[in-house]
Amino acid sequence: MEEITVILNDIEQGDAQAAERLLPLVYGELRKLAAAKMARETAGQTLQPTALVHEAWLRLGGEAQPDWKNRAHFFASAAEAMRRILIERARRNLTQRHGGGYQRVEFNDALQAIATPGSDDELLAVNDALDRLASIDERKAELVKLRYFVGLTIEQAATALGIAVPTAKRDWTYARAWLFKAIKQSRQL
């Protein structure tokens, strides 16, 4: 992973070929993260991890990569890109034109609800609650994005955010409980 940081620094300093060296390094990692995320999606999911990574890469700038501050900045941006792709897809799937329709789904428990969405409804509910959490505590929201949408472990997310693992664990516990409560309240309206 240190090589990624060096290449990101080269991009920032204007090295035109650095983006070409970056893709092979991050592609494999992003592909693994996307595959882990897609494995938790509902049955019948037609979006493939490769397609998710390609779309995220294009949204990140493709060959014309922006100036990344560091590895954490890059992976946070990748998490946000994957999040937006999945949310747009869920919204599109729920429209009448695409055969959608809302169905009430109850959560079994907070961890299960946040770790594995069962439907597009749940994904959209998590997204809306996550936006509200971000307005209160951006770091906790970023942690959720890295864990939920990219599939990083708590240790990987802590490293990407530049925080200690115990802090990440506390933030994850708080964010999970906060999101569960927010989603539950929004469903009662």
Domain extent, residue 10, equals: 2-188
Write out the chain in H/E/C secondary structure.
CHHHHHHHHHHHCCCCCHHHHHHHHHHHHHHHHHHHHHHCCCCCCCCCHHHHHHHHHHHHCCCCCCCCCCHHHHHHHHHHHHHHHHHHHHHHHHCHHHCCCCCCCCCCCHHHHHHCCCCHHHHHHHHHHHHHHHHHCHHHHHHHHHHHHHCCCHHHHHHHHCCCHHHHHHHHHHHHHHHHHHHHHHHHC
Quote the CA–CA distance of 130 and 137 in Å, as a whole number. Answer: 10
pTM, entire model: 0.52
One pLDDT digit (tens) per residue for the chain, 189 residues: 577 778 777 777 777 677 777 777 777 777 777 776 666 666 555 677 778 888 887 888 776 777 777 777 777 888 788 888 888 887 777 665 555 554 444 444 444 444 444 567 777 888 888 999 999 999 999 999 888 877 788 998 999 899 999 999 999 999 988 988 888 887 776
Considering its fold, how many domains does the chain have in total? 1
